[in-house]
Amino acid sequence: MLRPYTVPAALILVGILMFIGLPSEPPQASGRACSVAGVVDGDTVDLRCDGPVFRARLTGFDTPETYEPGCAAEAALGRRAAARLRQLVDNATRIEADIGGTDRYGRRLVALSLDGQAVSRRMIAENLAVAYSGGRRIDWCARLS
């Protein structure tokens, strides 16, 4: 017959062993304070959230490409979007991130807020981006011509 304290002690031990055996996960955040180490383009940043810097693809919007743009108009708007994101980040007093999974390039998917306002909404409102939730991207050159 088991003593009354044996079962709870065994459950605690199993819980500890399961916790120790878990593989390490990439950084997770849920609206917690972060800092932007650098702006890569209009929808990609290097982010630090209580750990090492990692590349983050900002979610909810898409900006024109600055690396291998399809046309001069896309390149120009892409540079404007990146410059504006840099300005918004530089002027923010509070940067918060909700971090999700990863995209096909290994970047973390992040919903970024600056001073309580979603970056996606701001960039879309300023006509530097379009709403985007994954899948095929728009043809910026066709849109801008």
- Residue 3 binned pLDDT confidence (cut-offs 50, 70, 90): low
Is residue 48 in some structural domain? yes
Please state, in angstroms and rounded to a whole number, the distance separating the CA atoms of residues 79 and 133.
22
Is residue 137 in some structural domain? yes
Is residue 106 in some structural domain? yes
pLDDT at 8: 52
CATH number of the domain bearing residue 124: 2.40.50.90
- Residue 140 binned pLDDT confidence (cut-offs 50, 70, 90): very high
Residues across the chain: 145
> 3-class DSSP state for residue 78?
helix
pLDDT at 4: 53
Print the domain residue range for 46: 25-144
Is residue 12 in some structural domain? no
Please state, in angstroms and rounded to a whole number, the distance separating the CA atoms of residues 65 and 81.
10
- Residue 24 binned pLDDT confidence (cut-offs 50, 70, 90): very low
| Angle subtended at Cα 103 by Cα 77 and Cα 99, rounded to the nearest 5 degrees | 90
Answer whether residue 117 shows pLDDT above 80. yes
Both tokens of 19, joined, read 């916790």
| Angle subtended at Cα 124 by Cα 82 and Cα 140, rounded to the nearest 5 degrees | 70
**Average pLDDT over every residue of 15-19:** 42
User: In total, how many domains does the chain have?
Assistant: 1
Single pTM value for the model: 0.77
Answer whether residue 83 shows pLDDT above 80. yes
Please state, in angstroms and rounded to a whole number, the distance separating the CA atoms of residues 57 and 79.
17
Beta strand pairing call for 30-33 and 95-102? antiparallel
- First and final CA of the chain: distance in angstroms? 81
Is residue 92 in some structural domain? yes
